[in-house]
Amino acid sequence: MKVLLYTGGRNLVGKSGVGSALRHQEQALRLAGVDYTEDPGEEYDVVHINTVLPDSWWMARRARRKGKKVIWHGHSTMEDFRGSFIGSNTAAPLFKRWIRECYGQADLVLTPTEYSRKLLESYDMEKEIFPISNGVDTEFFRKEPGQRTRFRKAFGFRDDQPVILCVGLPIERKGILDVIRLAEELPWYQFVWCGETPSGLLPGKIRQAIGQAPGNLHFAGYLDREALRDAYGGSDLFFFPSYEETEGIVVLEALSMEIPVLVRDIGVYQGWLEDGIHVWKARDQKSFSSCIQGILDHTYPALTGAGRRIAEQRDLRNIGECLARIYRKVL
């Protein structure tokens, strides 16, 4: 069995969750001993596609003409396309039609969670859809001595300053406006946002809000894996107020790093992340503010051990073995 892990469009999605998912698949397949290539010119039995760019559609068409099996990873939905870039809300119905066309080329559609599976099933594609986590490298994302010191030295924070970490593209769907408002309300905390998007893609109100953000909100831009690991290890709380996700790889990374996690109470977490057991959940600025202060004041109990166990269940070794079974089943 030879798998083609198609990497077309990688330069465009490399700093997004889809780019992270692709890197996870490479590592997972190596750990599972799956024979794979990223060269479409080599012989293969099944192609695994992650993006919905036009070149991916053509790759699927070529594979089907050759009698190869096609697996498409459904990272994208109409729901998580909204609230992202200029014109995304208007274009969302057209995007839905496009991803239905893409996923319709597949013999099997994979998607990160049961929640996203149900969303895609509602698109009436008449395709088998199977949920499988994007996974997390729990050996790499592990809290170790030195991370806190390096992170705080890099950003000029004192050891006793409470730091709240946010990771993701600075777009409305990810909750950037909520973080800006909370930083204004809670000036005694330091907020760090890691992640970047070309400003030309952002609506004017987002660019203006970022430009007027308070001084206790620091925009770190895109961090490589090592620097991001130090950011997790050096912060006191991971805050992820995203309005829509298909899973949230950064949430898995934070859980693996055993840092307290606060997320928006949305459907994607139902069934695997319980409020007050693995993470804390809230819905609006008032409840976010209350949770942040309770967590950082240590009046809320620690949940990091249970969170780490969730991450370990989704370790890349387990994901690689599951992918291998899926490939064999499709073939």
The pLDDT tens digits of the residues spanning 35-55 come to: 999 999 999 999 999 999 999
SS3 108: strand
The pLDDT tens digits of the residues spanning 63-107 come to: 999 999 999 999 999 999 998 989 999 999 999 999 999 999 999
Global pTM reads 0.95
Residue 9 predicted with pLDDT over 90: no
Which residues, other chains included, contact 239 with Cβ-Cβ below 8 Å and sequence gap of 6+? 164, 165, 166, 179, 191, 262, 288, 292
Cite the residue boundaries of each domain of the chain with CATH code 3.40.50.2000: 3-135+315-330, 147-313
Number of CB atoms found within 10 A of residue 331's CB: 12
The pLDDT tens digits of the residues spanning 157-197 come to: 999 999 999 999 999 999 999 999 999 999 999 999 999 99
Provide mean pLDDT across the span 20-35: 97
Radius of gyration of the chain from Cα atoms? 20
Which superfamily is assigned to 3-135+315-330 in CATH?
Glycogen Phosphorylase B; (3.40.50.2000)
Identity of the amino acid at 203 = P
Q: Residue 177: exposed, middle, or buried by beta-carbon count in 10 A (0-12, 13-18, 19+)?
A: middle
Residue 14 predicted with pLDDT over 90: no
Run of H or E including 190? strand 190-194
SS3 51: coil
State the pLDDT at residue 15: 85
Structure tokens at 148: 């806190």
Sign of torsion over alpha carbons 54, 56, 60, 66: positive
The pLDDT tens digits of the residues spanning 188-219 come to: 999 999 999 989 999 999 999 999 999 999 99
Query: Which of 10-14, 49-53, 319-323 has the lowest average pLDDT?
Result: 10-14
Give domain 147-313's CATH number out of 3.40.50.2000, 3.40.50.720, 2.40.50.100, 3.60.110.10: 3.40.50.2000
Contact 254, 272 (CB under 8 A): no
